[in-house]
């Protein structure tokens, strides 16, 4: 016997409201492909590119109590839609980086200050966190950014002006920078 859609939705909302989930998630469409978006009670904790990805990595990061709760993710989906349509240049939703190790968090906190439409380099970011020789480590920290797009690791490029790398693929990095109208060499 199939569970009525309303009851199914009611349970999902109740589970989220009761604070029983490690994270609520949803899948949303975007110009850079499908996005798996997840949030804890504290904020957005995960954005992953591509529908071929499963919940495996998210589960390793936050825990097994994962449930698809579209309503919980509505504000995030809305802001992402506005961002992709060019109406939004900063995100207002809270971000939860509690599961991120200290050094990486330091890098990501600094990264959030790089404004829309601008780019910086791995070396410059390393200097900004007071570790000018740590460009490579900064690259590693960005590569494992759990909340791409909102925490804008796409705004970090190589000293020569080349895009260098992106966990979601260089094509997506280029698309995001073009959308923001960033001046690339």
Partner 1 sequence: MALVSIPPFEEFYAAHRDRVYGLLVRRVGRQQADDAFQETFLRALRAYDGLRHAEQLGAWVTTIAERVVIDAHRRSRSTEKLGESEAWDGRPPHAELEHLAGELPPTERAAVVLRYGYDLDYDQIGAVLGSNATAARQAASAGVRRLRKELT
Q: Does 67 bind partner 1 (CB under 8 A)?
A: yes
Q: How far is the CB of 53 from partner 1 (least distance, A)?
A: 13
Q: Which is nearer to partner 1, 14 or 184 (CB)?
A: 14
For the annotated catalytic residues, the residue numbers are 153
Among 65-73, 88-96, 112-120, 126-134, which window interacts with partner 1 (CB under 8 A)? 65-73
Q: Does 1 bind partner 1 (CB under 8 A)?
A: yes
- Give exposure, 104-140, as e/b (b: 16+ Cβ within 10 Å): bebbbebbbebeeeebbbbbbbbbbbeeeebbebbbe
How many of the chain's residues bind partner 1 (CB under 8 A)?
A: 23
Residue 5 CB burial class (10 angstroms; 0-12, 13-18, ≥19): exposed
Q: Does 3 bind partner 1 (CB under 8 A)?
A: yes
Short-list 45, 36, 165, 60, CA closest to 108: 45
5, 52, 64, 160: residue in contact with partner 1 (rule CB under 8 A): 64
Q: How far is the CB of 8 from partner 1 (least distance, A)?
A: 7
Give DSSP secondary structure letters for 90-123: S--S-B--TTS-HHHHHHHHHHTTSPTT--EEHH
Q: Does 65 bind partner 1 (CB under 8 A)?
A: yes
From the CA atom positions of the chain, what is the Rg in Å?
17
Among 6-14, 42-50, 74-82, 92-100, which window interacts with partner 1 (CB under 8 A)? 6-14
27, 43, 68, 103: residue in contact with partner 1 (rule CB under 8 A): 68
Binding site for partner 1 (CB under 8 A): 1-4, 7-8, 10-11, 14-15, 18, 20-21, 25, 55, 58-59, 63-68
């Amino acid at each position: 016997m199939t569970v009525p859609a309303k009851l199914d939705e009611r349970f999902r909302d109740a589970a989220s409201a009761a604070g029983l989930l490690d994270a609520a998630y949803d899948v949303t469409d975007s110009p850079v492909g499908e996005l798996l978006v997840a949030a804890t009670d504290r904020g957005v904790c995960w954005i992953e590119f591509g529908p071929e990805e499963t919940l495996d990595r998210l589960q390793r990061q936050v825990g097994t109590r994962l449930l698809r709760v579209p309503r919980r993710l509505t504000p995030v989906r809305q802001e992402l839609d506005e961002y992709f349509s060019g109406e939004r240049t900063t995100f207002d939703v809270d971000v939860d980086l509690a599961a991120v190790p200290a050094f990486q968090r330091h890098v990501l906190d600094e990264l959030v200050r790089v404004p829309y439409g601008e780019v910086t380099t791995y070396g410059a970011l390393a200097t900004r966190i007071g570790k000018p020789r740590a460009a490579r480590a900064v690259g590693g920290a960005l590569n494992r950014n759990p909340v791409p797009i909102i925490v804008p690791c796409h705004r970090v490029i190589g000293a020569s002006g080349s895009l260098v790398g992106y966990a979601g693929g260089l094509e997506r990095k280029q698309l995001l920078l073009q959308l923001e109208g960033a001046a690339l060499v």
